[in-house]
Chain A
Amino acid sequence: MSARDKLLTQEVPVIIINMIYGIGTITLPSLLARSAGPDGIIAYLAAVAVYIIGTVLIILLVQRFPNHGLADYSPMLLGTVPGFAVNLLFTLYLIFLVSAVMRAFAEVTKFFLLPRTPIEAIMLSMLFTTSILARNGLQPIARACQIILYVFFIPFLVIPLFVSVFDTGEFLPLFQEKPAVIAKAAYNSIFSLTGVEIMLVLGSHSENSKRLMRPALIGVAIVLTMILIAVVLAFGSLSVDQTAKLTDPLFEMIKYVPVPYSILERIDISFYTVWIAATYSTLVIGLFTASHHVAEIFKLDNGKGFVFPLAAVVYFLALIPKNENEVLAFNIMLGAAWLALTFGLVPLLLVLSKIRNPKGAKKQMQQPQKKNRKANP
């Protein structure tokens, strides 16, 4: 592992925030409003609870095998062939995730900024740009994400403007919907939150991969709070009904408040550039993780060479859905895949790692670490 692929502990939350915060956030409020009405908030909180449990499970697994990625220990625990299958599925999952983000982003960009530009041009330019950085290694990605993170906070500067139009009555009455409906809404919204599973691959590159729980939970907590604020603002200032009708309530609502002293009109467009950056970081991390995971499957040093081929695959996958409904269905399937990964595979591996020759496995896993320690005191 070269120095370029190292991740500082303080960069772990940064990477997680950048991965999760992205294009899914834009569509989340309307998705919640449509599927659960005012109870969308409850649905979101339920999703958050599930998500945090999932995060804890994932990080527990990562901490059990510091210095090793999923590709290393899954064949050891499951056997060579099932392990390879699991790794292949995980790679496919990452590629599908990236292409889903890519497609959603291209749709919104076309709608917002470039109505006459073909979607292919938008996707190709974005994929090319992200691939350049994804090839450069994890450390540069983390630094770029750190800078992009500062940009994320700019939209939150306008929150005080919403005080005048904010209506707390919109959130009441709560618990009008049946629990099943709320659960369905939570299930639908999981896709917008996916991202923490990248730690299965990147966790071993962290400076201190034995103590990832704190930084990972901090990152998840920050980003989930940011999304919560966005949802609450959309519900409160636009009303739930209107949120449900719009595809991009987060940009729509800024039109309803006057921004004092602004030099530009259509602030929503300038805010959209923040989401371009957010999607960029999501795609970069996704592409890097996927290519790195493939490299680890084949026991290669780095996945540089896989970035452009994977980006090509992502491009063609992203073109498959014919309309927005198919995009949405696809996204919900990805959410299901995330649930299967987090509450199926991860606990299975955790249990297996305890049952299957626990002492021997542990010893085997710790030996290279000791060597590392000697090498870099």
Chain B
Amino acid sequence: MYIRLAFDKQCLESEAVFLKLSKRIHHNVQFFKQQFNDSTDLVVRQFSISIPGIREIAGALIFFEGLISSHLITNAVLDPILHEASRFQQPIDADILSFLKESVLTNAEHSETNDANKVVLAIMMGEAALLVDGYNACLTIAVQDWEHRAIQSPESEGVVRGPRDSFVEAINRNLMLIRRRLRDPSLVFERIQIGNRGQNDVVIAYVKDIANEELVNEVRKRLNKIDMDVILDSGYVEQMIEDDWWSLFNTVQDTERPDEVVAGLVEGRVAVLVDNSPFALLVPSTFNSQMLSPEDYYVRWPAANFVRLIRFIAAFVAFLTPSLYIALISFHPEMIPTQLSLSIAASREGLPFPSIIEALIMELSLELLREAGIRLPGPIGQTVGIVGGLIIGEAAVNAGIVSPIMVIVVAMTAIAGFIIPTYTLSFGVRISRFFLMFVTSILGLYGLTLGILVVLGHMATLTSFGVSYLSPWAPLSLKDLHDSVIRSPWHGLKKRPSYTKADDPTRQGQRMPKKSKKKQNRGKQKQ
């Protein structure tokens, strides 16, 4: 149903077109060559299956050069066909194709079809198509193998305590990373192809007896609506399925950590993995869930709570400090304690710019440094940070462009911004920070408050797959508060978060026969 052949316009227009294979092998070979426009990486290996005493039957193997393992093709397909097939001792009208399938081929996975479109798709996905003369059916043999990056430690979501593996570009490896952590038969992977030209694999992952069925259906529905050429990264999918694509804040969480995905799955959330992307998506996702790091569940609860408090404070600092500075300096200097006020006044003596310009200069140069640090290769990137932060800051103060207190403000903002554990969320905070600075420069503390209220109103309007973005604080859910700013010890986290409306709300203390595997998956997997 999802299969659309973009190469053939007729097929694209009517999905139901069922193109039957021909009985003549050279027709079929011609058809596939034409389908792939004689692309140079298409390999058509023609051979003949010799059956002693009867006759020789023409066969062909069609695949793409780089997508298959030549080792497998040789050992599991060609070698058995060319040598073992001679054992075929049956009457001439017997079914050679099913004989090949059942007793000759030695690889694990293959299937038979007579739908030409399916075969084309299979070839593009790295399977080899085996055609035999006289049969209007075809065997597709799974021999995919291509180069991929080794599993490395996560780059954007590092932890001190906890597993260090992260997703890679190959989706099968990513599924393996999830399956290995959750040995539950009800963990389901649903694979569909999205992208009219790309035909990229997208996998919906959920635990069948935990995840709410409506949620899974909603995810399916939104994925099926995607009508794009090619899906290069999960970011494409994220932006197509999110509730509000005008918003500054993301309502779909992305993570490169398999442990976080598994934790999400057992909370009743649904994960979406995209081939060629090391980032998985988790829905629904709230502001709260994006402020939590998987490490919070691995360390003991006092440490976790301390870090969480710091993190939430840091989010406010990153959000508010520059505009608070502008409000205090330009509009309400009487709010600053007298001593400090005097020294600030002394340090701002002779500064040519109002505080908003000062703040904009420093904040913008900070963003410049940050982007430069990301683009440059590792060691140089760090150098840019040091050079920018220390030297330019110092020089700017000495040159009389900004005041020393502004440098402190900017440094605090930057450091606090880095504490936000989700990269995409920190974008929202960074951009809305500039909005706050502008309104503050016009209306002072009153403007700042209005700006905060606008952002709050916007966040209150957001939903992620029907779940309030501000959950569990609004609407207040007392049950979920034990895993928000404060996390209760593991012994208190007996229920899954209620915002996922999980079918099975209990995750601890329900030792049911046979079905007890899925409890306590966060942090207690070592058992």
| A positions within 8 Å CB-CB of B | 3, 8, 10-11, 109, 113-114, 117, 121-122, 125-126, 129, 132-133, 136-137, 139-144, 146-148, 150, 263-266, 269-270, 273, 276-277, 280, 284
Q: Does B454 touch A at the CB level, under 8 Å?
A: yes
Q: Which A residue's beta carbon lies closest to that of B447?
A: A125
Contact of B449 among A263, A266, A273 (CB under 8 A): A273
A265 — which chain B residues lie within 8 A by C-beta?
334-338
A147 — which chain B residues lie within 8 A by C-beta?
456, 460, 470, 473-474
A133-B446 in contact (CB<8A)? no
Q: Which B residue's beta carbon lies closest to that of A141?
A: B460
18 contacts between A and B (CB under 8 A): A11-B475, A109-B446, A113-B331, A113-B446, A114-B331, A114-B443, A126-B450, A129-B450, A132-B457, A136-B460, A143-B475, A146-B474, A147-B456, A264-B328, A265-B337, A265-B338, A270-B445, A276-B453
Q: Given that A126-B450, A142-B475, A144-B474 are known contacts, is A269 also in contact with B336, CB under 8 Å in the complex?
A: no
Q: Interface readout for B238-278 with A: 1 if CB under 8 Å, 0 if not? A: 00000000000000000000000000000000000000000
A109 — which chain B residues lie within 8 A by C-beta?
446
Q: Given that A147-B474, A264-B337 are known contacts, is A269 also in contact with B445, CB under 8 Å in the complex?
A: yes
A276 — which chain B residues lie within 8 A by C-beta?
446, 449-450, 453
Q: Interface readout for B406-449 with A: 1 if CB under 8 Å, 0 if not? A: 00000000000000000000000000000000000001111111
A129-B453 in contact (CB<8A)? yes
Q: Which A residue's beta carbon lies closest to that of B462?
A: A140
Q: Which A residue's beta carbon lies closest to that of B477?
A: A10
Q: Does B332 touch A at the CB level, under 8 Å?
A: yes
A264-B468 in contact (CB<8A)? no
A132-B454 in contact (CB<8A)? yes
Q: For chain B residues 325-362, which have a beta carbon within 8 Å of chain A?
A: 328, 331-332, 334-338
A146-B335 in contact (CB<8A)? no
Instruction: Please give me the 3 A-B residue pairs with the lowest Cβ-Cβ distance, nearest first.
Output: A146-B474, A133-B457, A143-B460
A8-B475 in contact (CB<8A)? yes
A263 — which chain B residues lie within 8 A by C-beta?
337
Q: How far is the CB of B377 from chain A (nearest CB, A)?
A: 41
Q: What's the Cα separation between A109 and B446 when bound, in Å? A: 8
A113-B335 in contact (CB<8A)? no
A273 — which chain B residues lie within 8 A by C-beta?
445, 448-449
Q: What's the Cα separation between A129 and B447 when bound, in Å? A: 10
Q: Does B461 touch A at the CB level, under 8 Å?
A: yes
Q: Given that A113-B446, A147-B474, A276-B446 are known contacts, is A266 also in contact with B454, CB under 8 Å in the complex?
A: no
Q: How far is the CB of A291 from chain B (nearest CB, A)?
A: 16
Q: Does B476 touch A at the CB level, under 8 Å?
A: yes
A277-B335 in contact (CB<8A)? no
Q: How far is the CB of B420 from chain A (nearest CB, A)?
A: 19
B335 — which chain A residues lie within 8 A by C-beta?
264-266, 269-270
Q: What's the Cα separation between A136 and B453 when bound, in Å? A: 14
B450-A144 in contact (CB<8A)? no
**Additional 12 contacts, C-beta under 8 A, given A121-B443, A148-B453, A264-B328:** A10-B475, A133-B453, A137-B461, A139-B468, A143-B468, A143-B470, A144-B474, A146-B470, A146-B474, A147-B456, A265-B337, A265-B338
Contact of B457 among A114, A139, A140 (CB under 8 A): A140
B473 — which chain A residues lie within 8 A by C-beta?
146-147, 150
A126 — which chain B residues lie within 8 A by C-beta?
450
Q: What's the Cα separation between A263 and B443 when bound, in Å? A: 22
Q: What's the Cα separation between A297 and B466 when bound, in Å? A: 30
Q: What's the Cα separation between A147 and B461 when bound, in Å? A: 13
B444 — which chain A residues lie within 8 A by C-beta?
113-114
Q: What's the Cα separation between A143 and B466 when bound, in Å? A: 14
B461-A266 in contact (CB<8A)? no
Q: What's the Cα separation between A189 and B473 when bound, in Å? A: 33
A125-B474 in contact (CB<8A)? no
B448 — which chain A residues lie within 8 A by C-beta?
273
A136-B457 in contact (CB<8A)? yes
Contact of B461 among A11, A140, A280 (CB under 8 A): A140
A125 — which chain B residues lie within 8 A by C-beta?
443, 446-447, 450
A146-B449 in contact (CB<8A)? no
B450-A146 in contact (CB<8A)? no
A266-B332 in contact (CB<8A)? yes
B461-A269 in contact (CB<8A)? no
Q: What's the Cα separation between A39 and B253 when bound, in Å? A: 57
Q: What's the Cα separation between A108 and B456 when bound, in Å? A: 23
Q: Which B residue's beta carbon lies closest to that of A262?
A: B337
Q: Which B residue's beta carbon lies closest to that of A8?
A: B475
Q: How far is the CB of A88 from chain B (nearest CB, A)?
A: 29
Q: How far is the CB of B460 from chain A (nearest CB, A)?
A: 4
Q: Which B residue's beta carbon lies closest to that of A268?
A: B335
Q: How far is the CB of A104 from chain B (nearest CB, A)?
A: 15
Q: What's the Cα separation between A148 and B449 when bound, in Å? A: 12
B460 — which chain A residues lie within 8 A by C-beta?
133, 136, 140-141, 143-144, 147
